[in-house]
Amino acid sequence: AELAPAAVTNESITVTSLYGVEGSGAVGVALNGRQFTAGDAAFAFFGVHAPVVEATFFADEAATVQLTFDAQATDRGGMPGRGPCSQVLDAATVSLLRGAAEAAFVPHCFWRDDSTLVAELNGASAIRPGDTVALLPGAIGPLALVTANGTRACPGSADVCANSSATIPVDEPCGSGRACPVPEANIAAPSVIPACGDASRLTLSAAESTGGGTVALEAIWAVDPARTDDADAVAAQLAAAGPSLTPTLALPSGSAFTFVLRVRNFLDDESEAVELAVSRAATPAPSLAVLGGRSQVARADRALTLRASAARAECWPAAADPTIVYEWAVDSVAFLDTGADAANDTALPALPGATASAAVLQLEAGALATDRVYALRVRAWMAAQADVESSALVFVTVPALALVATIAGGDRTVRAGEALLLDGSGSADPNVPGSLPATYVWGCTRANGTVSADDDVVLDLEALGAPATNASTLELPAGALDAGAHTCTLTVGGVAGATAAAAVEVAVSDEALVPLLEALALPPAQASAEWSLPADRVGVRMGLDPASAALGTAAWALSWEAFVLVGEARAPADLNLADAAAVTTTGASQLNLAFRSGVLTPGATYVFQLTARLAADPLAPTGRAAVTVTLNRAPFGGSLVASPASGVALETSFALDAAGWADEDLPLTYAFKRRGASDDAQLAQAVTDTSTSRMASALLPAGALVLSVTVADALGAAATAEAALDVSEPADLDLGGLLAAGSEAVAEGDPMAAHQLLAAAAEFVASGTSSGANASSALNATDGANMVALAVSASAGLSDSPQARDLAVGTLSALLAAVPLDASTQVEALDAISGLLDEASATGAGVATAANALAGVGAALGGADALSDADREAVGEAAAGIASRLGLALIAGSLAGEAAEEVTSAEVNVTASRASAEDLSAGATTLESPGGGGAQLPPSVLAGQDAGVLEGGVNVVQYALARNAYADPSASGLGTVRSALVALELSAAGDGSPLVVVGATDPIYIALPLGAEPSGEEAALAGQCAGHACLDRGACDAATGACACDAPFYGGACQFE
């Protein structure tokens, strides 16, 4: 081949390399057209070529299979984030990854970098050492051939598209020179069992053992015969249980037992043995364990919740106080790397004293120091017998976290004649929440007009006027940067030498009128692609510079674009940002951009760019700003098993096990829910509080049910698995036994069991079956009051997690709808729901919580007509409080300009939105209310308000109660006409403070939908519009004979105004 040189000097000739890999060949040189004899010269080159898999092995604690390519960067097969493995791997490999999972299961892969492909395993995967992993022919090509707009060469160019495979080594299945994960055995069981005759039962659990990836570990149980009474009989029971992770033993005799556990993973690696000594107490001590196992992981920048679970001894006297008292303490603190005692170098967290409700230990972010292992001990004893206790240890590892570097505002356009300020003060050292990095180093380069960033010009910031200080901000004077494209970086350093970097693109424009955009609020560094709580949404809040903002937002043509990164190239993302119904909640033509859950791809890196120019001048200069967001990947590989597969409501305790989940962002948390087989998954009801334990038990209502588990990583990304159950209804309802069992569960520190009992009972009573009807007829208001009191008491023992709020609101709403309650009990239940919604002001309320709250309000209002005036007003006031708080919870974390959130029912409708102060002040604003009615705000509605208070926007909440609990229409001379109760509330989005209308110069109009019992005349007119043509005040529907009246007219013939 003849190649024109790319560069020539007196010493060298540089040519563009050919396709291929390193080698040697004959090189000839022609100077001035004269060909010299070719020589056999060795030369090295690394040209563009078909990607080659160099190695494949198990990685990520054996939860994945990793493929490592040669040094040439790939185009990732066009897979920007997590996607089906079938896009990049051949069918045989995908089949091995799927294994024994159902045919509908789709194995997923992702790229760790341009040369590393990762395939996720699941509990049924069949891939093993010695198996071959092969690429899908033609799917993956070189990154160097990706065009600037993201177009790939493959498939299509056979000579540069991959067709490669590799075999997992049998002798080194976890990679050359890498050791496979050694499993760690973990026994969860009480260390003390009660002296209860000859029927003591003990369940041992190895379920929290680790090191098996997503594939279940095999348990190897034994006893130490020298320290175990009746060792042969106990060993025989263990042998009969086989490799079970949770054998249950009967220990009829003896007082001392030592159990030994080893676990083995699918790679045949075996753990060291661990022991658990169990003694039989002379008096009945409670059993005790920490949910989630003896070894757990925590993050210093996140709150930590631990839950202990204790139970009375079977032989505890029935008449005695069932209350169990808990106390937590720090046993020891050790350095993570050396294991040396760290108590003298560590501030110990403050733990609550002994209380009956301290089964849950909640520590705020920053309570635990990084690079430490904390041994926390929980003790439990019967309140009536404090001299006999049980204890359990949990070891909490707190690893070091990476530094966070950030530059506020994102990529931007700036004017050449103005100073530049870059702010890195948001950078942090998460190992000590609230602390700042130790060092800040700034740098800037100017693009030199070539493709390679290596050609960019490094700028001398000090020479350009930047202060030579270790500062979190970079200030450059006006004129320091020439017009053109620049990249500025910030590198922060920690006290231990760790570093992190952030970069922004700065386009310097010499147009004096170019609008300047800046990101005012950025999504988290690792956002989640799916979310159930409003505050977790992905959104970007942009702002204009003061001079541009003074013209008003309407003066600017705004347009959002979305790109996905393929290497360094920006490829247009397959997202229609203008679709405000399915993709965004904002559309693509306003300052803010917010997405709907599930439309972004986990693992992908997106660039969201906003452009602005004067709307009246298509040729006006354009300003740009952009932010880069990487979407976190959710946990993978696990499943949910519920046993038994059928049972009886209120009687059968179902065991739930969510085994095999893996993720790199630990710890994982588990939240279990239930729904009817035909119900919307978004309306699933909480069954448990959030826990670090993959296992739970549940008492369930009757029906064909679908149980689900939501498994979330430490950064909030979540995945779900389901299992079906068939639960039959009980013969009757033993309310006395239910209340006693629920009260005892609360006293023992298990409030979830009380909620499960109450919710199942409420659904049974409301079921409409003959048994349910009989149970319902036997209940009275006193019974209802006792059930609500138990629900309120049980709610106090839950954590402050959103799942706990879902559980509590669901129970209280079910009781309001199903059991007889007097007015004071209704108010008690409604106030409890209102308080829970208050707690949700930061995170927001999910779909199920909103639906449950609405159902509870509707049930209370539905019976309000039968109450006295005072009781009706009390119930109405409590219902209005819920509606108001629910409106705010629906828009927690939202951005101004997003579509309104609505929830509606027969008795109450709520709509809420967040608007910019500018939009509300620009002109008359019409607010539609669901179910009819609404309001119109004048431009002066915010007159007199502090501009700083309005900076983040204005919360606008409307709600309508179908029954006006504040007035008796017959007493007001209105006859049977009754209006809904309509409320309109404005508050500051920043701090939630109410905005009092003080300077409005025009009225606020509120449309009230009116209802009335039809009079004889009205009844005659209704349905007969052909005879009176709606008095020309509306449209006549010939099919139904009904009038659709124009506002403000109403009535069968639109005769009323």
- The model's pLDDT over 892-938, given as tens digits with 9 standing for 90+, comes to 989 999 988 989 888 888 999 999 888 888 877 777 776 566 788 88
Average pLDDT, rounded, for the chain: 88
- Give residue 42's pLDDT: 54
Residue 27 forms beta bridges with which residues?
39
Ordered DSSP codes for 717-748: -EEEEEEEEEEEPPSS--HHHHHHHHHHHHHH
- Give residue 430's pLDDT: 85
Cβ neighbours around 869 below 10 Å, total: 12
Residue 864 DSSP one-character state:
G
Question: Does the reported pTM lie above 0.95?
Answer: no
Determine contact, residues 523/629, Cβ cutoff 8 Å.
Answer: yes
- Give residue 20's pLDDT: 53
Instruction: Decide which of 314 and 1036 is more confident.
Output: 1036
Residue at 712: amino acid letter? A
Q: Please check the confidence at residue 1 and state whether its pLDDT lies above 60.
A: no
Q: Which segments within 865-977 are labelled E, that is strand?
A: 901-904, 908-915, 925-928, 934-937, 954-961
Determine contact, residues 607/563, Cβ cutoff 8 Å.
Answer: yes
Across residues 999-1003, what is the average pLDDT? 87
The Cα–Cα gap between 841 and 845 comes to 8
Instruction: Decide which of 165 and 24 is more confident.
Output: 165
- The model's pLDDT over 617-660, given as tens digits with 9 standing for 90+, comes to 999 999 999 999 999 999 999 999 999 999 999 999 999 999 99
Which range, of 459-463, 585-589, 948-952, 993-997, averages the lowest pLDDT? 948-952
Instruction: Decide which of 124 and 870 is more confident.
Output: 124
Across residues 986-997, what is the average pLDDT? 89
Q: Give how far the C-alpha of residue 150 lies from the chain's centroid of Cα atoms, to the nearest Å.
A: 30
Helix count and strand count (H, E) for the chain? 14, 60
What proportion of the chain, given as a percentage, has pLDDT over 90? 59
Q: Please check the confidence at residue 875 and state whether its pLDDT lies above 60.
A: yes
In angstroms and rounded to an integer, the radius of gyration of the C-alpha atoms of the chain is 34
- Give residue 556's pLDDT: 95
- Give residue 868's pLDDT: 83
Residue 935 forms beta bridges with which residues?
927, 1006
- Give residue 1013's pLDDT: 45
Helix axes of 770-777 and 751-765: crossing angle, nearest 10 degrees: 110
- Give residue 85's pLDDT: 97
The Cα–Cα gap between 462 and 464 comes to 5
The Cα–Cα gap between 289 and 395 comes to 13
Q: Please check the confidence at residue 1057 and state whether its pLDDT lies above 60.
A: yes
Across residues 80-97, what is the average pLDDT? 96
Determine contact, residues 60/110, Cβ cutoff 8 Å.
Answer: no
- The model's pLDDT over 584-598, given as tens digits with 9 standing for 90+, comes to 999 999 999 999 999
- Give residue 852's pLDDT: 95
Instruction: Decide which of 751 and 317 is more confident.
Output: 751
Instruction: Decide which of 762 and 527 is more confident.
Output: 762
Across residues 278-291, what is the average pLDDT? 85
Residues 6+ apart with CB under 8 A from 810: 685, 686, 755, 759, 848, 849, 852
Q: Please check the confidence at residue 971 and state whether its pLDDT lies above 70.
A: no
- Give residue 980's pLDDT: 66
Phi-psi region for residue 479, left (φ > 0), alpha (ψ -120 to 50) or beta? Answer: left
Which range, of 48-57, 416-425, 486-495, 1012-1021, averages the lowest pLDDT? 1012-1021
Determine contact, residues 516/489, Cβ cutoff 8 Å.
Answer: no
The Cα–Cα gap between 28 and 9 comes to 17
Across residues 781-791, what is the average pLDDT? 96
Among candidates 236, 223, 151, 233, which has minimal Cα distance to 189?
223
What is the three-class DSSP state of 892? coil
Q: Please check the confidence at residue 44 and state whether its pLDDT lies above 60.
A: no
Across residues 327-346, what is the average pLDDT? 90
Half-sphere exposure of 233 (CA within 13 A, CB side): 9
Q: Please check the confidence at residue 56 and state whether its pLDDT lies above 90.
A: yes
Across residues 84-104, what is the average pLDDT? 95
- Give residue 726's pLDDT: 96
- The model's pLDDT over 209-222, given as tens digits with 9 standing for 90+, comes to 989 899 999 999 99
- The model's pLDDT over 229-253, given as tens digits with 9 standing for 90+, comes to 999 999 999 999 988 899 999 887 8
Among candidates 856, 852, 801, which has minimal Cα distance to 826?
856
Cβ neighbours around 100 below 10 Å, total: 10
Determine contact, residues 229/255, Cβ cutoff 8 Å.
Answer: yes
The Cα–Cα gap between 234 and 834 comes to 53
- Give residue 979's pLDDT: 61
Among candidates 333, 314, 330, which has minimal Cα distance to 379?
330
- Report how far apart, in Å, the C-alpha atoms of 494 and of each of 336, 407, 432, 444 are: 18, 17, 11, 22
